[in-house]
């Protein structure tokens, strides 16, 4: 069974959730099934600057203060920090607890992703442990390359230190962030098994019950999964993300009408109207009775200011499918 943890390593609940998952796994009845825990990237604060800021300075920022209050309604940021410290201590984290820096986590996620590719889930889990320990217990700046390189060496992933000075893993992490968004991952941490998700750092017994249900998902071809993720991103009003998700499909399955329709929607909603028109005209030429392609082509031509051309396709779309009229 593969367990995915979608989490941001600068999220205190991610580290607490890691300990709780470990307790849940330790208490499982042995059933012979191999368990693999894989970490996936999540971003709790996309506005974090590239250069880390001392945490006390960050707390004085009104936007950060407002965000912290939203995370814990009814508590001041200071009260919430005390609460989380107490919870962390109860879960065996400490004795010192608390980040010293408001730090960007992108390179840390790159290091963890590269560790998975080079040494598997076990190595990645050790890197995740050392990254979060450095951030929450040692007070290190985990956005600093030299700190991450030291972490890589301590974790047994010496090769990762040199890789951090390249762009290795960068695009993979960015795509995984998009996949998480497409899969509606909205909380750090979120534990995923198959197509089931458990949001938040739940108690070990809740996690154990969740894991006991196993992976009941139906395996889908990779192309179908990617197509569905692109659809999800379009539904979330992220056409550029959808086009990024579609790129491999456009390269490998350029003739598939479903891929082309989604690409046309992505071009349309990202105001790439000439590209949308090109794709839609080809779709209509290939299938004269494709009323949806005609509808989209008509709307694209309208936005381009070509009303006379648009009206022909809009009328035909309405005649073929009355709800489009």
Nearest to 147 by CA among 118, 111, 117: 111
- The answer for residues whose C-beta is within 8 angstroms of residue 13's C-beta and 6 or more apart is 7, 84, 188, 189, 200, 201
Q: What is the pLDDT of residue 70?
A: 65
| Domain spans, the chain | 2-212, 222-324
Q: What would the pLDDT profile of 156-170 be if each residue is shown by its tens digit?
A: 999 999 999 999 999
Report how far residue 201's alpha carbon sits from residue 14's, in angstroms, rounded to the nearest whole number. Answer: 7
User: Across all residues in the chain, what is the average pLDDT?
Assistant: 93
Q: What is the pLDDT of residue 194?
A: 93
Q: Are 240 and 53 in contact (CB under 8 A)?
A: no
Provide the b/e sequence for 116-134 (b: ≥16 CB within 10 Å): beebebebbbbbbbbbbbb
Does 187 have pLDDT greater than 90? Answer: yes
Whole-structure pTM value: 0.92
CATH superfamily of the domain spanning 222-324: Tetratricopeptide repeat domain (1.25.40.10)
Report how far residue 162's alpha carbon sits from residue 118's, in angstroms, rounded to the nearest whole number. Answer: 13
> By CB neighbour count within 10 A (0-12 exposed, 13-18 middle, 19+ buried), where does 58 fall?
buried
Domain formed by 2-212, architecture:
3-Layer(aba) Sandwich (3.40)
């Amino acid at each position: 069974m593969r367990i995915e943890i979608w989490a941001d390593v600068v999220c205190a609940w991610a580290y607490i959730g890691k300990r709780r998952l470990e307790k849940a796994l330790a208490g499982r009845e042995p059933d012979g099934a191999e368990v693999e825990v894989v970490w996936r990237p999540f971003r709790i604060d996309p506005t974090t600057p590239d250069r880390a800021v001392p945490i006390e300075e960050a707390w004085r920022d009104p936007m950060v203060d407002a965000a912290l209050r939203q995370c814990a309604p009814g508590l001041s940021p200071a009260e919430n920090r005390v609460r989380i410290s107490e919870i962390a201590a109860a879960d065996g984290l400490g004795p010192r607890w608390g980040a010293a820096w408001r730090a960007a986590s992108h390179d840390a996620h790159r290091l963890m992703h590269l560790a998975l590719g080079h040494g598997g889930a076990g190595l990645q889990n050790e890197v995740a442990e050392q990254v979060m320990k450095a951030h929450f217990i040692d007070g290190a700046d985990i956005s600093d390359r030299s700190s991450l390189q030291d972490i890589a060496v301590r974790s047994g992933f010496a090769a990762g230190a040199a890789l951090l000075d390249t762009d290795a893993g960068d695009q993979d992490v960015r795509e995984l962030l998009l996949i998480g968004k497409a899969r509606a991952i909205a909380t750090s941490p979120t534990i995923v098994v198959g197509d089931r998700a458990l949001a938040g750092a739940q108690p070990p017994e809740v996690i154990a019950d969740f894991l006991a249900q196993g992976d009941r998902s139906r395996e889908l071809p990779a192309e179908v999964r990617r197509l569905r993720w692109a659809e999800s991103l379009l539904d979330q009003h992220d056409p550029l993300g959808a086009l990024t998700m579609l790129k491999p499909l456009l390269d490998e399955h350029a003739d598939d009408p479903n891929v082309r329709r989604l690409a046309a929607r992505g071009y349309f909603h990202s105001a790439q109207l000439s590209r949308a028109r090109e794709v839609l005209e080809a779709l209509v030429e290939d299938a004269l009775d494709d009323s949806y392609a005609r509808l989209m082509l008509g709307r694209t031509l309208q936005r381009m200011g070509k009303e006379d051309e648009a009206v022909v396709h809009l009328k035909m779309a309405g005649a073929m499918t009355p709800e489009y009229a």
